[in-house]
Amino acid sequence: MLAFGWLAACTSPLATCAVQSCPEPKTLTIFAASSLQPAFGKIGNQFQANEVKAQGHVVNALSFVFAGSQMLTQQLGEGAAADIFASADIAHMTQVNAGGLVASPPRVFAHNRLEIAVARGNPKGIHTLADLARSGLVVVLADPSVPAGKYAAQALKTAGVTVKPASLEQQVTGVLSKVAFGEADAGIVYVSDIITSRQVDGVAIPNDQNVIAEYPIAVLNTGHNQAAAKDFVDFVLSADGQSLLKAAGFEGV
């Protein structure tokens, strides 16, 4: 997960079922922004549990690819086959849509806010975005080509703060790991990252400086499993899906 999104691909464990009556599960490939990893892991498990409840076995083997939205967009543009794309911003979904890859209109399924990630107990006493400009503080941001980096730059600009970042990471999880490892004193990530990581503390950013990220999802026409893709998107938008997203720190729609 440090460098290549492809490494993050994983398949959910299959439920057991009688050997003779068990049809081979079809693969459902989901390209999702890295900030969605914890939430989609849970949603995927619940989606499969529902399949087992309804049909007695797992119908679709879920194959997730988590990476920065910009990287997923590039891979889709180069012809990577996926059934679903979930982006951390509207811009990359628009780009994929413009490439003629989207089967049905994208729908926003979640919102996310920014928060400052600091070490447990906030030893450096960071309370506002302005504190990030303090000299001697090691601050890590996501690269502006990544949605999280773009949003962080917007928030800093609104707050009128100039930060000298030590590094510009290629995905938001890179920012989180640098803070969690203690190599950076602070970083700007999503609220959902802090809630699910449990290794860092969050410092809230006031609403007037914050940016609300919109997460759109769409079924792609490059996939081979469109009916199941639609079911998955419907589940994400259902009350159950939304409550799983909320538990992972997202705001529903």
Contact residues for another protein (CB under 8 A)? Answer: 2-3, 68, 70-71, 73-74, 138, 140, 143, 145, 165-170, 178, 181-184
CB 166 within 8 A of CB 140: yes
Q: In the numeric block, which tokens belong to residue 245? A: 């997203």
The least CB distance from residue 180 to another protein, in Å, is 11
To the nearest whole angstrom, how small is the minimum distance from the Cβ of residue 28 to another protein? 25
Q: To 10 degrees, the CA torsion angle through 150, 153, 158, 161?
A: 170
In the bound state with another protein, the residue whose beta carbon lies nearer, of 76 and 228, is: 76
Q: Which is nearer to another protein, 15 or 168 (CB)?
A: 168
What letters, b where the CB count within 10 A reaches 16 and e where it falls short, cover 111-130?
bbbbbbbbbeebeeebeebe
Cβ 184 to another protein shortest distance, Å: 8
Q: Which residues contact 74 (CB under 8 A, 6 or more apart)?
A: none
CB closer to another protein out of 28 and 67: 67
Question: In which residue are the tokens 């996926």 written?
Answer: 82
Distance CA 41, CA 216 (A): 17
The nearer residue to another protein, 184 or 217, going by C-beta atoms, is 184
Nearest approach, Cβ of residue 6 and another protein (Å): 13
Tokens of 222: 């490059």
Q: Exposed, middle or buried: residue 20 (CB in 10 Å: 0-12, 13-18, 19+)? A: exposed
Report in angstroms how near the CB of residue 118 gets to another protein at its nearest.
14
C-beta closer to another protein: residue 44 or 147: 147
- In the complex, what is the shortest distance from the CB of residue 183 to another protein, in angstroms, rounded to a whole number? 5
CB nearer to another protein: give 11 or 181.
181
Give, as one character, the DSSP assignment of residue 78. T
